[in-house]
Structure 1
Amino acid sequence: MEDRDWRILQELYKHRNITKTAQNLFMSQPALTGRIQQIEKEFEITIVKRGRRGVDFTPHGEYMAKAADEMLKKYQKIKDDLLNLDNQVTGTLRLGVGYFFTKNKLPRILKMFKELYPKVEYKVITGRSKTIHSMIFNHEIHIGLIRGEYTWNEEKHFLFQDTLCVVSKEAITLEDLPALPRIDYGTDYVLKSEIDNWWSDHYSVPPRIGMEVDHTDSAREMVMNGLGYAIMPSMYFSGEPLMKIQIKNRKGEPIIRRTFMFYHQESTQLNQVRAFVQFMKSIDFNQFL
């Protein structure tokens, strides 16, 4: 089997659809089907059966698909180790980063890093902190930039912090909030719990949700257009001419949102990972907030 065969099995198991898998791998459907048939012939098994809703994996196919993740990890490690032998800072750096940070902060950081190490390539996976935490735990990425207090027993470095704020285009007070439309947004459970706890500590009625959106980027744009207020980390509105009211806990202290860099110590044996960790530790993140 070739490297691409394991990727075919991985993608097909994920999507259970020949058409979507072929599109994601930039292959024609006949070529994809041909590779599956070749794998089946090589191992003398049946991997998938076509159903009305896509493809169904046989027990043999389930085993092969689950083995694909491990095989691809081993393949990538071999490539990384070989590149590392000549002691150059090269190879692919796999990062897991939040949506907003990827869009608004990461390009500048990677530009600075690339000026120092031009031979490094990147694979950036965006997601919520819970997803990134799972990926770094399972060694799917080298480094995860994670917002909030997640359990981690390996290497962890504090990067920066910001505070939670009520943000609105119009002038409002905290006393007004129960009667005003709030823009709610999809986020990780740590941030949602902090917001919910603060609300229940200060109000006896539930918030009036005027709009629900899927991501913080969407919520930010809605607030900017005066469609309601939101409770969000201050980083999302840095430099914007909006009303921001810092919220505080029962002790009267600002509610802090911290961002950390998570990584495995063994990953720093790779030159590109070690260089990026050192680079991130040297940055003054105030310039990005």
Structure 2
Amino acid sequence: MDERDWLVLQALYEEKNITNAAKLLYISQPALTNRLKQIEKEFGVQIVNRGRRGVQFTPQGEYLAKSAYDMIHRIQHIKENVLNMENKITGTLRLGVSTFFTDYKLPGLLKLFKDEYPDIEFKVTTEWSSHITHLIHNEDVHVGFVKGDYGWKDQKRLLFEERICIASKEPINMSLLPDLPRIDYRTDQNLKMTVDKWWAENYAKPPLISIDVDKAGTCKNMVANGLGYAILPSMILDDLEDLHKIELTTPDGEPIIRKSWMFFHKESLQLNIVKAFVEFIERIDLEDIH
């Protein structure tokens, strides 16, 4: 079996549906079905049963599918080590990136790195910071960009700090905040807990959520159009100078800071591609990238 076969088993096990797995792998359904038959023939076992509710794995098939993750991971490491022996900066850099970082920093960052190392390719996974921490811990990605503190014990670099702000189109009387329309958005649990803690320290009433959206960028645009206030990290507001901003503070009057980090394993620096990327990040100013 080659890497593609293991990817077929992995996708099919995750999707439990041949059509969806084929789409995930960018191959036709007949091609996936034929590949599955070849795998069954190679091992001499039936891997799946097909029914109205989708694909059900046999015990042998489930064992193979669960082995797929380790096999794919091992093949990736072999490829990386072989490329590394040539002392060239080439190959695929696997990055895990928080949603905010993907929207506001990543495109410009990757362009600059690609300009220096044109033979580099990227595989980017975008998720909440908590999930990125899990990916980097399991070495599913070489480098993770996360927002907030997650108790990472290996190598990390502080990228930048930003403050958490109340943003509004018009000036706000803070004593009336619980009765004013708030625009909320989906964010990682770390930031949500920080904002909820600040609210509980300052108000007895819950916020009046008038609009709930999926992204911070959408939330910002609604604030800019006067539909309500929002509590957002300061960096996302940098391009809107006409908004009124009030920084959140602790009971002691200290600003509430949110830190962005780069996480990676020390042994990953043995790979030329990772070492080059980490050194690149260390010498540039991320706050200047848009």
State the Cα deviation string for residues 215-239 of structure 1 (Å, max 9, x = none).
Answer: 2223223222322211111111112
- Give me the whole-angstrom Cα distance separating, in 2, the residues matched to 1:224 and 1:67: 50
- Give me the whole-angstrom Cα distance separating, in 2, the residues matched to 1:46 and 1:173: 68
Show the counterpart of 2:13.
Answer: 13
Give the secondary structure class of the aligned counterpart of 1:200.
helix
Q: In the TM superposition, what are the counterparts of 1:61-210 in structure 2 within 5 Å? A: 61-210=61-210
TM-score with structure 1 setting the length:
0.96
Show the counterpart of 1:218.
Answer: 218
What residue identity is the alignment partner of 1:148?
G
- Give me the whole-angstrom Cα distance separating, in 2, the residues matched to 1:258 and 1:167: 19
- Give me the whole-angstrom Cα distance separating, in 1, the residues matched to 2:218 and 2:133: 23
- Give me the whole-angstrom Cα distance separating, in 1, the residues matched to 2:53 and 2:224: 42
The CA deviation at 1:114 is 1.5
194-203 or 219-228, which deviates more = 219-228
Show the counterpart of 1:264.
Answer: 265
100-109 or 61-70, which deviates more = 100-109
- Give me the whole-angstrom Cα distance separating, in 2, the residues matched to 1:286 and 1:275: 20
Give the secondary structure class of the aligned counterpart of 2:231.
strand
The CA deviation at 1:246 is 0.5
The CA deviation at 1:269 is 0.7
The Cα RMSD (Å) is 1.3
The percentage of counterpart residues that share the same residue type is 51
- Give me the whole-angstrom Cα distance separating, in 2, the residues matched to 1:144 and 1:61: 32
State the Cα deviation string for residues 93-137 of structure 1 (Å, max 9, x = none).
Answer: 111112222122111111111121111111111111011011001
28-37 or 140-149, which deviates more = 28-37
- Give me the whole-angstrom Cα distance separating, in 1, the residues matched to 2:226 and 2:68: 48
What residue identity is the alignment partner of 2:41?
K
216-225 or 37-46, which deviates more = 216-225
- Give me the whole-angstrom Cα distance separating, in 2, the residues matched to 1:176 and 1:283: 42
Residue 246, structure 1, aligned to residue 247, structure 2: yes
The CA deviation at 1:247 is 0.8
Number of residue-to-residue matches in the alignment: 289
Instruction: Flag structure 1 segments of 5+ consecutive residues without an equivalent.
Output: none
The CA deviation at 1:249 is 0.9
Q: In the TM superposition, what are the counterparts of 1:16-35 in structure 2 within 5 Å? A: 16-35=16-35
Instruction: Flag structure 2 segments of 5+ consecutive residues without an equivalent.
Output: none
- Give me the whole-angstrom Cα distance separating, in 2, the residues matched to 1:238 and 1:13: 44
What residue identity is the alignment partner of 2:236?
Y
The CA deviation at 1:169 is 1.9
- Give me the whole-angstrom Cα distance separating, in 2, the residues matched to 1:44 and 1:94: 35
Give the secondary structure class of the aligned counterpart of 1:146.
strand
The CA deviation at 1:65 is 1.1
The CA deviation at 1:245 is 0.7
- Give me the whole-angstrom Cα distance separating, in 2, the residues matched to 1:170 and 1:62: 58
The CA deviation at 1:197 is 0.3
- Give me the whole-angstrom Cα distance separating, in 1, the residues matched to 2:195 and 2:109: 29
